[in-house]
Each structure stands twice: as structure tokens, then as C-alpha cells.
């Protein structure tokens, strides 16, 4: 992975901590809307981490693949990811 490892790692660690907090909220029978808001916050963090990884992939891996004649395969990979979004 050629993405900013520290930035991605921090986003994922923060999301992990929030998921643990959400589990505690569920166990404590907290208000549904509060739980939902926290879930949305985690989704946002995961989206940011994924965007960092995909940006790096496009700037490095895909560029290198085109230089070695394997660009079409990498484009198909990214299209498959975009379809999942």
C-alpha cells in the first residue's frame, strides 16, 4: 500500500474506537438516534480511509500498471470498487 499509512491508520483506529463505543451504547440501551449518528460517523471515517487508499492506488499503482502495459486490468479493478460504492 502506497497511501499515507499514518493517516489511514489513524482513521481506522478512530473508527475502531467508535465502533467499540457504539457496542457499549447498544449494550447500555442508549437512544436509537444517538446510536445511528455514531454509526454514520464511523461510516464517514471508513469512507475517508477508503478514499485515501483509492487515491494512492490511482496515483501510483495504476500509473505503474500503464507503464508496464497492464493498465486495463487496474482500471477494471477500480471500476469494480466504484460499482460497490
pTM of the model: 0.84
Task: Tell me how far apart the alpha carbons of residues 9 and 16 are, in angstroms, rounded to a whole number.
Answer: 10
Instruction: Give the pLDDT score at 63.
Output: 87
Instruction: Give the pLDDT score at 2.
Output: 75
Task: Tell me how far apart the alpha carbons of residues 12 and 9 are, in angstroms, rounded to a whole number.
Answer: 5
- The full 3-state SS of the chain, as one line of letters, equals CCCCHHHHHHHHHHHHHHHHHHHHHHHCCCCHHHHHHHHHHHHHHHHHHHHHHHHHHHHHHHHHHHHCCCHHHHHHHHHHHHHHC
Architecture of the CATH domain 5-84: Up-down Bundle (1.20)
pLDDT tens for 11-65 read 999 999 999 999 999 999 999 999 999 999 999 999 999 999 999 988 888 889 9
Checking if the pLDDT of 1 tops 90, the result is no
Instruction: Give the pLDDT score at 20.
Output: 98
Where in the chain are the domains? 5-84
Amino acid at each position: 500500500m502506497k497511501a499515507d499509512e499514518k493517516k489511514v491508520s489513524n482513521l481506522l483506529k478512530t473508527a475502531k474506537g467508535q465502533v467499540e463505543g457504539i457496542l457499549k451504547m447498544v449494550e447500555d440501551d442508549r437512544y436509537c438516534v444517538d446510536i445511528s449518528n455514531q454509526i454514520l460517523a464511523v461510516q464517514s471515517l471508513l469512507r475517508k480511509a477508503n478514499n485515501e487508499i483509492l487515491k494512492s492506488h490511482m496515483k501510483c499503482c495504476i500509473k505503474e500498471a500503464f507503464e508496464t502495459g497492464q493498465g486495463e486490468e487496474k482500471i477494471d479493478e477500480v471500476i469494480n470498487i466504484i460499482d460497490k460504492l
